[in-house]
């Protein structure tokens, strides 16, 4: 019984860490916006990796906008900083800010 409790506690801790990791501010470039469905695709910019250039591209993620009005001020190709959360495998954009050139 103690082992099961330990495993479940570890799994819960890992899931909280994974969700909170998405909540941190990230940077990337918008590759696609679907204003009708309120979704946006962002190519995440890798940061802090030894030997990587500042423009290295990370994973391409699609998010549902928390508020469709968030998408009005941005366009494909814009560099942005953003925050997102994940619930049941679906990413939701909670903050989106266009970066200054």
Number of domains in the chain: 1
- pLDDT reported for residue 41: 96
Entry field: residues in the chain: 101
- pLDDT reported for residue 59: 84
For the segment 49-75, the average pLDDT, to the nearest whole number, is 79
Could you list the residue range(s) of the whole structural domain that residue 25 is in?
Answer: 2-98
Sign (positive or negative) of CA dihedral 31, 89, 47, 59: negative
pTM over 0.75: no
Higher-pLDDT residue of 57 and 24 is 24
CATH number at residue 31: 2.40.50.320
* pLDDT tens digits, one per residue of 11-56: 554 454 444 445 578 999 999 999 999 999 999 987 665 555 555 5
Sign (positive or negative) of CA dihedral 50, 53, 55, 57: negative
Q: How far is CA 1 from CA 4, 7, 12, 43, 76, in A?
A: 5, 10, 17, 44, 53
- pLDDT reported for residue 42: 96
Confidence of residue 64 (pLDDT cuts 50, 70, 90): very high
- pLDDT reported for residue 18: 46
Sign (positive or negative) of CA dihedral 50, 77, 23, 11: negative
Indicate whether 6 pLDDT > 90. Answer: no
Q: Which residue has the tokens 């501010």?
A: 25
Q: Write the DSSP assignment of 44-92 as a string of letters.
A: EEP-S-TT--TT-EEEEEEEEESSGGGGGG--TT-EEEEEEEEETTEEE
């Amino acid at each position: 019984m103690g082992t099961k409790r330990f495993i479940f506690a570890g799994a819960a801790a890992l899931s909280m860490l994974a969700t909170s990791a998405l909540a941190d501010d990230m940077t990337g470039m918008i590759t696609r916006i679907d204003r009708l469905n309120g979704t946006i695709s962002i190519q995440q910019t890798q940061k802090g990796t030894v030997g990587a250039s500042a423009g290295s591209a990370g994973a391409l993620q699609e998010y549902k906008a928390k508020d469709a009005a968030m998408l009005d001020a941005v366009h494909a190709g814009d560099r942005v900083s953003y925050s997102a959360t994940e619930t049941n495998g679906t990413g939701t954009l909670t903050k989106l800010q266009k970066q200054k050139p």
